[in-house]
Structure 1
């Protein structure tokens, strides 16, 4: 399109200054053949890595020999040449007027080169932000050869685009573990920020990730059930798709519907898919200990006598009281036991909310299965 032609002409005019910057970063052997220009062979279309015989600053041409020793003279404009990747960084900043550039820390050692070339070509170096690299669930650097990464397409198989944007926004200068287990938390935290936004003052809103994700106009969250809760529901409901969860959702939130809550409807579908693909293969329920069995039998009895409706706060207080009465210390061990025995997980959302969503009668039946060991056989 010729968009970079003016900058390429400048590169020919200031070739020596560019080469001086580059030579300082190259080994002696590489210095002998290096050129910031990569000619494209007029006949074969191949990009040639060859030394320059001449760079004509006045006429904006380069002269070189191809791999067969044939001499060519080409203009640096009109798509006849490319720039080596390091000079290309700085040249693009100049040509496009870039004022902010964000890149991984593997580029950070080259920043002085990019800046220097940008300035040689008459540009103003942009503000930089270097982000840390991503790690796998073991804290190891993600590697294509190891296949231990999580691709964008894989993330978007199990959650909406905004959840990935939210994850990327968080602590860019800190190395982050990026694996499938972080997806549910990212979804729920994103919607927490959406719900908080209307209640915040202007300064807090400007610091809220959703302001940046949605260009200053974040939508209202209609996610009345957390994604982590949907995952637990999927694990016990036997649903094959979002429709299989909506009966439970409607009982918990009668005003909700797929039409009025499209983000919730999409999340329900994602939850079933995530559960099927990522939880079922590794799910491991266990039998309760004697202390846990006694507490779960007590919880079952209290649920059987429950007449408080589907108030998740009241149900949570009741579950809390059972754990306290049976001497769990710390109390989180009681909730961990519930998740491990009944849901095949080591953690999850508030259990009172799960009861309200799944149903009191259904939870009683689930406890019976857990106490009988039926869930262990199923897992």
Structure 2
């Protein structure tokens, strides 16, 4: 695979960040493993934002390791214990998914019927991407970490400082939401739902429990809805206004995501993590939590957002932008990694129609050549590339796909006039009967000067192209004649 070069080439931002990280006290011990964090929510198919975070983290990991010689590890966490709050627009079986709103993602059926849960189906796709890009990391499922008790010691720290930590996070939400906000969210034994709107009545760090109730005097707005509902409608089947005591350990409660982010960073001694510009405020909350608990604050790196062709943020739930399946169709691996390594702090549009701009001059040059030559298939495109460029570039398959989908498909179909159709039919007949090589002199004898654009339109869809003798040679006489006859048949 040709990806290694992009991990070892000098990367200015990686070098700067590696040097910055190397100066932190907790990373100066020669044999202490330095851990890089990454996380994602498996509520939708992995997109370019998910991929960029882990790829750029791998860039930095490599740069840091080469600079310091210290052992490193990437820890990637899938927050599969989080609730399904909204049905992703890009998923099938929308009605079925709507029936499982509020359940942890690891307990929602897979709408593709390929895995034991929605989250696990997304996890498998993410693991396949990691393998494809040859990125080694420790892959952690939140559900496993919570249920196994791995997080228990850190969760107890949060419980012991509940009042202060809850207040730190609550400041980042709206005034109305604060009325039923808690960093601890019980997972209901009755319905299996994540209970996100509670009022904590008592905290007992000695037993690791909280006593809470779902308030009766609040309104809850469903994500994406314009109206609010009563608690008994939103939490159907749950006791409303009734105190309940539950352990916060062993997966019986989940931390709200900002607190969860801080908790896993502390628990796993993460020294460095990247995040999108849209999470800048949340990263500041995490920083305050770590400082309050007197734990090392990880180094954060804020990167720009990926936008679709309309300038909207690419969203897992909306499914807009550049699907990673499309990425392989239009971008070769080297072009994609080159795009991800450049100017990570800038917001970047990322859509199929923008592929030439994403990939750079070499891609655009090859596209111009293919557009000018109008090959009939990939084999012919390769022949033209070898003839005019001296080689078939590695990105030829992706440029050919882009040409077919966005250039050739945009050309209006050519329907010749009756006289033009008769000429094309006759030309096809003359060419098919030739026993000598097709030279420029032969073509000039068969095609009047003013009718060359008609021939090009019939063969390529465009009024001009490469030298016609070259085009016919590469395409083949039999196929060329067939194109002429098929075009003429639309009128005759």
Q: TM-score range by the shorter chain?
A: 0.5 to 0.7
* Residue 396 of structure 2 corresponds to residue 274 of structure 1: no
Cα distance in 1 for residues equivalent to 2:152 and 2:407: 54
SS of 1:42's partner is coil
Question: Would the aligned equivalents of 1:94 and 1:122 in 2 still touch at CA under 8 Å?
Answer: no
Cα distance in 2 for residues equivalent to 1:9 and 1:281: 61
* Residue 329 of structure 2 corresponds to residue 157 of structure 1: yes
Cα drift, residue 44 of structure 1: 2.0
Question: Would the aligned equivalents of 1:14 and 1:57 in 2 still touch at CA under 8 Å?
Answer: no
Cα distance in 1 for residues equivalent to 2:325 and 2:178: 41
Change (3 A) 1:147 1:15: closer
Question: Would the aligned equivalents of 2:308 and 2:314 in 1 still touch at CA under 8 Å?
Answer: no
Q: Deviations over 1:239-261 (max 9, x none)?
A: 433x333333444577x68xxxx
Match of 1:6 in 2: 153
Give TM-score, length-normalised by structure 1: 0.57
C-alpha RMSD of the superposition: 3.8
Match of 2:239 in 1: 68
Cα distance in 2 for residues equivalent to 1:20 and 1:146: 32
Match of 1:362 in 2: 470
Cα distance in 1 for residues equivalent to 2:203 and 2:463: 74
Q: Deviations over 1:82-102 (max 9, x none)?
A: 111221222122122222222
SS of 2:200's partner is coil
Match of 2:339 in 1: 167
Structure with more of its chain in helix, by fraction: 1
Cα distance in 2 for residues equivalent to 1:5 and 1:239: 63
The number of aligned residues is 258
* Residue 191 of structure 2 corresponds to residue 34 of structure 1: no
Cα drift, residue 81 of structure 1: 0.8
Note the residue ranges of structure 2 that are not aligned, 5 or more in a row: 1-147, 215-237, 414-439, 441-461, 474-483
Give TM-score, length-normalised by structure 2: 0.45
Cα distance in 2 for residues equivalent to 1:239 and 1:176: 33
Cα drift, residue 126 of structure 1: 1.6
SS of 1:238's partner is coil
* Residue 165 of structure 2 corresponds to residue 57 of structure 1: no
Note the residue ranges of structure 1 that are not aligned, 5 or more in a row: 190-225, 258-263, 286-303, 305-339, 344-357, 366-373
Change (3 A) 1:130 1:45: same
- Pick from 363, 380, 387: which aligns with 1:227? 363
SS of 1:73's partner is strand
